[in-house]
Amino acid sequence: MPRKIAVIGFGNIAKAIITPLFDKKLLDPRDVYCLVNTKKSLESIRKNYKYDINIFQSNCKDSGIIWDCEVKLLSVKPQQLKNITVIEKNSNNNRNLLVSILAGVSLEKLIRTFPNHKCVRVVTNIPITIGKGLTGIAWGDETTADQKQFTKRFFESSSKIYEFSEDLLDIFLALTSSGPAIIALIIEALSDGGLTGGLQKKLSEELVMEMISGTISLIKDTNITTAELKNMVTSPGGTTISALRVLENKSLRSALIEAVVSASIRSKEFH
């Protein structure tokens, strides 16, 4: 790994990416230089974060060291990008690497903002915070083999990695980054169904989650298709076909397809 790594925005997702690298001793906290916006965050990280990293507030004069680092992980919110004052110090752009995890911010915009860098656009999702993320990577032009290897190592401790051309990143984001919210909503709604039928809320939610994880394991372990599984549990005139009929009537399939497409369109609007 390169000697010095800058993290521009040390929030939830950046911590989820960096901490396992410290835990596995793949990265030394002394080589990481992090930037946050507020004094409150700075003090909270100094007090509560389990590693002793170099941390700076964006308006402090010592924060200039961030711009000396060859590798930068950009992890502010997309709308905060305009507040970052980029100081281009080292003009050797064969070495400078900028890895962005900003939802919807295109490679073209990154290259415009960080002209002396090879830019890489990454999409990851919230389960990365428990080491079960999915990460999609689109390489900018001329990213070197070393920079690609480094970027993959950066994310593989906390997620599975998929490489895409940039045009597929928006739909990857829609499925995997918006997906957890869609699934949470489905879990909530199904448990409310159990609640309506007289189950306690907590028990109903537990049953739904166990049922979902059991169903996923069944599909994966036996290699059956989703259509085969559906046929296995749907008997003529039975309860399941009655439930499915309601969902078809309410256009659930179409609603889910449209939800994913809509998230993808919204992501493109940020470009």
Contact (CB, 8 A) for 219 and 229? yes
Among 17, 18, 32, 76, binds ligand NAP (CB under 6 A): 76
**102 contacts ligand NAP (rule: CB under 6 A):** yes
Q: Compute how many residues bind ligand NAP; rule: CB under 6 A.
A: 27
- Considering the complex, what minimum distance in angstroms separates the CB of residue 241 from ligand NAP? 37
Binding segment (CB under 6 A) for ligand NAP, from list 47-55, 122-130, 233-241, 250-258:
122-130
For the chain, the DSSP string reads --S-EEEES-SHHHHHHHHHHHHTTSS-GGGEEEEES-HHHHHHHHHH-SS--EEEETTSGGGGGGGG-SEEEE-S-GGGGGG---------TTT-EEEE--TT--HHHHHHHSTTSEEEEEE--GGGGGT-EEEEEEEPTT--HHHHHHHHHHHHTTEEEEE--GGGHHHHHHHHTSHHHHHHHHHHHHHHHHHHTT--HHHHHHHHHHHHHHHHHHHHHH---HHHHHHHT--TT-HHHHHHHHHHHTTHHHHHHHHHHHHHHHHHHH-
Stretch that binds ligand NAP, among 25-33, 37-45, 147-155, 197-205 (CB under 6 A): 37-45
Residue 161 CB, shortest distance to ligand NAP, in Å, is 14
Query: Under the criterion CB under 6 A, does residue 75 sit at the interface with ligand NAP?
Result: yes
83 binds ligand NAP (CB under 6 A): yes
Residue 103 binds ligand NAP (CB under 6 A): yes
Q: Is 147 a binder of ligand NAP (CB under 6 A)?
A: no
The number of angstroms, rounded, from the C-alpha of 234 to the middle of its chain's C-alpha atoms is 36
User: With CB under 6 A as the contact rule, which of the stretches 124-132, 156-164, 237-245, 254-262 interacts with ligand NAP?
Assistant: 124-132
Residue 190's closest CA among 205, 169, 179? Answer: 205
Give yes or no for residue 160 binding ligand NAP (CB under 6 A).
no
CB of 64 to ligand NAP, least distance (A): 13
Question: For ligand NAP, which is the closer residue by CB, 84 or 190?
Answer: 84
User: Tokens for 18?
Assistant: 């960096």
Contact 98, 129 (CB under 8 A): no
Q: Is 124 in the site for ligand NAP (CB under 6 A)?
A: yes
Nearer to ligand NAP, 11 or 29 (CB): 11
Q: Is 134 in the site for ligand NAP (CB under 6 A)?
A: no
Binder among 30, 50, 77, 89 for ligand NAP (CB under 6 A): 77
Q: Which is nearer to ligand NAP, 17 or 208 (CB)?
A: 17
Residues that bind ligand NAP (CB under 6 A): 8-14, 35-38, 41, 58, 75-78, 80, 83-84, 101-103, 124-126, 177
